[in-house]
Amino acid sequence: MSEEISSVVDIDQQEYIINIGPQHPSTHGVLRFVVSLQGEVVKSLQPHIGYIHRGIEKMCENLTYQQIIHLTDRMDYLSAHTNNEAVCLCVEKALGIEVPERVKYIRTILDELTRLASHQLWWCSFGMDLGGQTCYFYGLRDREKILDIFEETCGARLLLSYNTPGGLMWDIHPNFQKRIKEFIKYFRKKLPEYDAILTGNVIMHQRTEDIGILSLEDAISYGITGPTARASGFSCDVRKRYPYSAYDKADFKEIIYTKGDTFHRYQARMDEMWESMKILEQLVDNIPEGDFTAKMKPVIKLPEGEYYQRVESARGELGVFIVSKGEKYPYRMKFRSPNFCNLAIMNKLTSNFKIADLIAISGSLDLVIPDIDR
Amino acid sequence: MKSFIKYISDIFSGVASLLKGMRVTGKYFFSPRAIVTQQYPENRHKKGKKKLEMFDRFKGEVIMPHSENNQHKCTACGICENNCPNGTIEVISVMNIGEDGKKKRALDKHIYRLSMCSFCALCVKTCPSKALAFSQEFEHAVFDRKKLIKILNKPGSTLMKGIE
Ligand code: SF4
Ligand code: SF4
C-alpha cells in the first residue's frame, strides 16, 4: 500500500509554482515573480513586468524638453535628481552649451545627496526584508534630514523637478550649505550604528554570505551596472570613467568588491555612503558664485541627430538617448534604465537557492519597479 | 575537536554581535529625547519647535496671490496653459473695451485642476507677470473630486495697475 502511494506522488520530484507579487510586501513595487520550486529550493524564476507601465518614452514624444524633466522623476523615484540631470545633460550636449560652474557643483552635490538618501532607504528596507524591523526606523529617520534639505531648496521631497535644460529652476536656499554640513556631521556618527545593528549581525551574515553569487563574466554579459556590478569586481562607475558635472573636481574612490555575493553587494553600498559624504565635504564649501542657469531660449529645438548621455544613478548607469528631427519635441526618446538590466539576472542568481534567499537577493539588487516598467 | 571549538566560539561571537546591535537599540530605548516621531495631526496646533511648518518653497498647490484691493497680476496671456505638461490649467479670457476705446483681453477664469497637477513648477516659473505662486497647503483630501477643480482668480478681481 505504502509503495503504491509513493509511486503516484513523489513529493521530492514534484515542481511547485508560486507567485511572489504583484503585491508582495517584500518586493518594493508591483513586480511579479513566477517561482518554480522543488521543496524549498528555487528551480527557476520568471519576472513578469509591466504592471506600472505608463509609456513614459512615448509620452516624451509629445512634450518639450522642459516638460520631459518632470516625467523622468517618476521613473526611478529614489534617484529623481539624477534622472533629471541625465536629460538636461543630454540636451545641453546636443545644443553645445556650457552651463555655469555653479550649476555643475550644485548638481553634483544634489546627486550625492540623492545617492545617500537612496542607499539609506535601501539599507532600511533590506534590513526589513531580512526581518530586522528596527532598521527601517533608523534609516528613515536619517533620510528625513536629506529630504528636508531637498524640500528647503527644491520645494519637494521626492520628485524634485529642480533641473531644467541649461541649469536649475531657481537658486539654492541660503541655508543649503549649512544644512548639508550639519547633516554630514550628524550622519558620520550614525553610520557606525548601522554597522552595529546590521553589518556585524550574525543572522544577517548567515543569510547573505555566499548567497546569490554573481560572477564577473555574468555581470558584464548581462549589462549589470552600479554597486551590484562593482561588488563582482566590474569597474563601471560612470562618475569615474566618464566624469560629468563636477565629478572631475572631487577626489573619491570607486568601491570595488570581488566576491559578488549578497553580502558584498551590501558592503559596496555601505562603503558608497562613506564616499558620498567625502564628495559632499569637498564640494559643499567650494560652490562658485555665478548664475544658476545658462541663457536659454524659451523654445528649445535640438539640431537634427542622435544624442546619448549617461550618468550614474544610485542603482547603476542611466542612459538617455534622444533622436531629434530638429523640432521642439524629440522624435524618439529612449531610457536605458539600470533596474531593467539588473532584474534580468534574477533567474540566474536565485536558481538552486532557498526561497528565503530569494528575498535577500532581490533586496540586495535594490530594484525600483517604476524604473523597470517606465 | 577543532570543529567543536569553532562551533562554541561561533555561538559566543554570534551572541556578542546581537548584543552589540541591542546596545544601540537599548540606547534609544532609554533616551526618549532622541525619538524624532512627530505627532500628526496634533502638531498642527503646537507652538515652538514642535509645530508643523512647511518650508517657504514647498510646492503645495498653485495659487494666484491677490492684493488687498482684490487685484491679481494675470493678463490672460495663456503661457502657463501652454507650458503645463498635463493640461492642468485652462485660461478663459474675455475681450473688454477699455477706457480709450481699444479692445483689451482680460482674465475671466483661471481654471486649475489640482488632481492633474504634478507640481513641476513650469507654470509658476514661466509666467511673465509673476501672477502665480505656490502655497504651502498640503492637506488636499476632499470628499468630492469636483472640489479639486479650482478657479484661481477671486470673484470680482481685476488686473493690477501697471501690468500689461
Ligand atoms: S497666470 Fe501668468 S502665464 Fe498664466 S495666463 Fe496669467 S499672466 Fe499668463
Ligand atoms: S505645476 Fe506643472 S503640472 Fe502643475 S499646473 Fe503648473 S505647469 Fe501644470
Predicted confidence (pLDDT) per residue in B32-49, tens digit: 777 777 778 877 777 766
Predicted confidence band at A5 (pLDDT cuts at 50, 70, 90)? low
- List the single residue in B with minimal CA-CA distance to A138: B25
Q: Is B87 exposed, middle or buried (0-12, 13-18, 19+ CB in 10 A)?
A: exposed
Q: What is the dihedral of CA B21, B23, B27, B29, to 10 degrees?
A: 70
Predicted confidence band at A211 (pLDDT cuts at 50, 70, 90)? confident
Is A355 a residue whose pLDDT tops 60? yes
Q: Which of A54, A56, A63, A67 to mutate to test the interface with B (most CBs of B within 10 A)?
A: A67
Q: Is residue B77 part of a domain?
A: yes
Averaged confidence pLDDT in chain A: 85
Predicted confidence band at A321 (pLDDT cuts at 50, 70, 90)? very high
In chain A, what residues touch B36 (CB-CB under 8 Å)? Answer: 141, 144
Q: What angle do CA A146, A162, B38 make, to 5 degrees?
A: 35
Q: Does B118 touch chain A (CB under 8 A)?
A: yes
Beta-carbon contacts below 8 Å between A and B: 68
C-beta of B76 in contact with ligand 1 (< 6 A): yes
Q: How far is the CA of B88 from the centre of ligand 2 (A)?
A: 6
Q: What are A126's three cell numbers?
A: 533590506
Window B:50-109, CB contacts with A under 8 Å:
54-55, 57-59, 83, 85
Nearest CA to ligand 2 atom 4: B117
What is the phi/psi pair of residue B113, to 5°? Answer: -100, 100
- Ligand nearest the Cα atom of residue A161: 2
Lowest-pLDDT range of A232-236, A317-321, B10-14: B10-14
Is A297 a residue whose pLDDT tops 50? yes
Residue A300: other Cβ atoms inside 10 A: 17
In chain A, what residues touch B119 (CB-CB under 8 Å)? Answer: 155-156, 159, 161
A139 in the Ramachandran plot: left (φ > 0), alpha (ψ -120 to 50) or beta?
Answer: alpha
Predicted confidence band at A1 (pLDDT cuts at 50, 70, 90)? very low
Domain map (residue ranges) of chain A: 2-373
Q: How far is the CA of B85 from the centre of ligand 1 (A)?
A: 15
Distance CA A358, CA A20 (A): 10
C-beta of B75 in contact with ligand 1 (< 6 A): yes
Q: What are B1's three cell numbers?
A: 575537536
* Interchain proximity A155–B17, CB inside 8 Å: no
Lowest-pLDDT range of A11-25, A171-185, A218-232, A256-270: A11-25
Distance CA B142, CA A120 (A): 34
Averaged confidence pLDDT in chain B: 83
SS (H, E, C) B25-88: HHHHHHCHHHCCCCCCCHHHCCCHHHCCCCCCCCCCEEECCCCCCCEECCCCCCHHHHHCCCCC
Structural domain count of chain B: 1
Secondary structure element (H or E) that encloses residue A37, with its range: strand A32-38
| Nearest-atom index, ligand 1, CA of B89 | 4
Q: Is residue B2 part of a domain?
A: no
Predicted confidence (pLDDT) per residue in A237-295, tens digit: 888 888 888 888 888 888 888 888 888 889 899 999 999 999 988 888 888 888 888 88
Distance CA A91, CA A111 (A): 18
* Interchain proximity B121–A169, CB inside 8 Å: yes
Predicted confidence (pLDDT) per residue in B67-76, tens digit: 888 888 888 8
Distance CA A124, CA A127 (A): 5
What is the pLDDT averaged over residues B118-136? Answer: 88
Domain harbouring B155, CATH code:
3.30.70.3270
* Interchain proximity B126–A67, CB inside 8 Å: no
CB distance B82 to B156 below 8 Å:
no
Q: Is residue B29 part of a domain?
A: no
- A230 CA to chain B: closest CA distance, Å? 27
Residue span of the structural domain in which B130 resides: 62-159
Residue identified by cell 556631521 is A185
Q: Is residue B44 part of a domain?
A: no
Q: How far is the CA of B130 from the centre of ligand 1 (A)?
A: 8
Higher pLDDT, B156 or A183: A183
In chain B, what residues touch A69 (CB-CB under 8 Å)? Answer: 120
Mutation choice for ligand 2 from B89, B113, B125, CB with most ligand atoms inside 8 A: B89
Is A84 a residue whose pLDDT tops 50? yes
Lowest-pLDDT range of A26-30, A92-96, A225-229: A26-30
Predicted confidence (pLDDT) per residue in A161-171, tens digit: 888 888 888 88
Distance CA B124, CA B128 (A): 9
State the fold for domain A2-373: Cytochrome-c3 Hydrogenase; chain B (1.10.645)
What is the pLDDT averaged over residues A17-42? Answer: 76
C-beta of B86 in contact with ligand 2 (< 6 A): yes
What is the model's pLDDT at position A114? 92
Is A309 a residue whose pLDDT tops 70? yes
Q: Does B116 touch chain A (CB under 8 A)?
A: no
Q: Which of A169, A171, A209 to mutate to test the interface with B (most CBs of B within 10 A)?
A: A169
Is A28 a residue whose pLDDT tops 80? no
Predicted confidence (pLDDT) per residue in B71-124, tens digit: 888 888 888 888 898 888 888 888 877 667 777 777 888 889 988 888 888 888
Q: Kind of pairing, strands B133-135 and B61-63?
A: antiparallel
Its ipTM equals 0.82
Is A11 a residue whose pLDDT tops 80? no
* Interchain proximity A200–B20, CB inside 8 Å: yes
Distance CA A359, CA A71 (A): 30
